[in-house]
Structure 1
Amino acid sequence: MPEAVLTAGTIQYEDSGGDGPVLVLLHGVNMDATLWRNVVRELGPGFRCVRPTLPLGAHRTAMDRPELVTHQGVSAMVGEFLEALGLHDVTLVLNDWGGAQFLVADGPNERIGRVAMVACEAFDNFPPGAPGKAIAASARVPALLALAMQMQRFRWFRRAPGAWGWMSKRPVPDDVMDAWFAPARLDPAVRRDLRTFALSTPPASELKALPERLRSFDRPVLVVWATEDRMMPRDHGRRLADLFEHGRLVEIEDAYTLIPEDQPMRLAEELAAFASGGR
């Protein structure tokens, strides 16, 4: 798997290659680039899909500078990653983790041509819902975070209401989730990165100010929300779309937050049209 050396450390990524429109697909906490595997398959060879594994707990190599693993810090890593790969006119796609909004709002965002916000943190919903708040709470005590990662080995725990059972309507395959949770379960340094991130929730004043700064982004924005989402309030989708001069909302049924898992074909259809300059 190729790697990009950034200020904070080295991250791995997957790149489908090709000359088509470029999508950079971002994931949330305790996930990696495989979140997008089904969407990439549906998009096919007409698009170049670049999928970094961010240092959010499922990364295989701990960061050299763990103090940079914060919401704003990881957002800056995304911008540095685009520069390191020489990417331009990118369609930046968020799901679950919403921290990349700081890059969109504050820059440098010249390499970003379009943004798709797919059922992600927004407004005051950092961390999102009961699962996000549970990780943040356990991070205050290192032993509790380690225990939480150990518990992720069990299917009943993964699908429990109020936990990952609220993230996707359909179970994520066991082998995918095994790979997501193994790094933070087995490597204390990766768990350190996860803990640093989980404790970095921006203060309420910063979250309150962020939406007004987002308004300055004058390129197309697609907001995709799940009508049955239990993590991201439904009205946040409309509110996000209304922030932007060129914002548009699409709602997808029969899905929770992880729309790439629950409705990959439907999501790929919307992303393909959007990244190609269509609706």
Structure 2
Amino acid sequence: MRTSLGGMAQRRIPYELVRRWYRPLPTSREIRRDFAKFCRDAETDTYLNAARKLQKFDRRVLIAWGAQDRMMPPATGRRLAELLPQGRYVEIPDARTLVQLDNAGAVSAELRLFILDTPSSQA
């Protein structure tokens, strides 16, 4: 079976969808400016700083991770969920990084359960 975007999806992603994702970078001056600024200003410990902030996030969070993710293995998703005080980790079967493309039905089912289980005061 052919994969797409370096193995981020199990099946080939339609060219038009990929084109829509990437088209703004070469065609929009504002996006190029913002992207260049992000690259220039990024700190070497950006991810560590973000991780420290996650520990203070006080809302429920669903981490839906691809069970066959090769770019970021499931252990990474579990660690992310552990950083969040109210993080809930679920693995999406038959999915890699782009879970919503590989197994939209499973993602939708997990979202429904999560929403039903989340008090309205937390929404």
TM-score of Structure 1 vs Structure 2, range by shorter chain: 0.7 to 0.9
Aligned match of 1:242: 82
Give the superposition deviation at 1:189.
4.3
- Name stretches of at least 5 consecutive residues in structure 1 with no aligned partner: 1-157
- Name stretches of at least 5 consecutive residues in structure 2 with no aligned partner: 119-123
Aligned match of 1:116: none
Q: Write the distance in 1 (CA, Å) between the matches of 2:67 and 2:40.
A: 29
Q: 1:254 to 1:178 in 2, by over 3 A?
A: same
Larger RCO: 1 or 2 (CA < 8 Å, sep 6+) = 2
Match of 1:184 among 14, 25, 29: 25
Q: 1:260 to 1:198 in 2, by over 3 A?
A: farther
Q: TM-score, normalised by structure 2?
A: 0.75
Q: Write the distance in 2 (CA, Å) between the matches of 1:226 and 1:262.
A: 9
Q: Write the distance in 1 (CA, Å) between the matches of 2:10 and 2:100.
A: 11
Aligned match of 2:57: 217
Match of 1:265 among 101, 105, 112: 105
Match of 1:275 among 88, 109, 115: 115
Aligned match of 1:169: 10
Q: Write the distance in 2 (CA, Å) between the matches of 1:244 and 1:186.
A: 37
Q: TM-score, normalised by structure 1?
A: 0.37
Q: Say how many residue pairs are matched.
A: 116
SS of 2:23's partner is helix
Aligned-residue sequence identity (percent) comes to: 35
- State the Cα deviation string for residues 20-47 of structure 1 (Å, max 9, x = none): xxxxxxxxxxxxxxxxxxxxxxxxxxxx
Q: 1:269 to 1:193 in 2, by over 3 A?
A: same
Aligned match of 2:96: 256
Q: Write the distance in 2 (CA, Å) between the matches of 1:200 and 1:167.
A: 27
Quick check: which one's helix share is greater? Answer: 2
The residue type equivalent to 2:90 in the other structure is V
Quick check: which one's strand share is greater? Answer: 1
Q: Write the distance in 2 (CA, Å) between the matches of 1:264 and 1:239.
A: 23
Aligned match of 2:67: 227
Q: 1:186 to 1:276 in 2, by over 3 A?
A: same
Q: Write the distance in 2 (CA, Å) between the matches of 1:189 and 1:248.
A: 36
Q: Do 2:66 and 2:93's aligned partners in 1 also have CA atoms closer than 8 Å?
A: yes
SS of 1:222's partner is strand
Q: Write the distance in 2 (CA, Å) between the matches of 1:257 and 1:217.
A: 24
Q: 1:168 to 1:196 in 2, by over 3 A?
A: farther
Give the superposition deviation at 1:184.
1.9
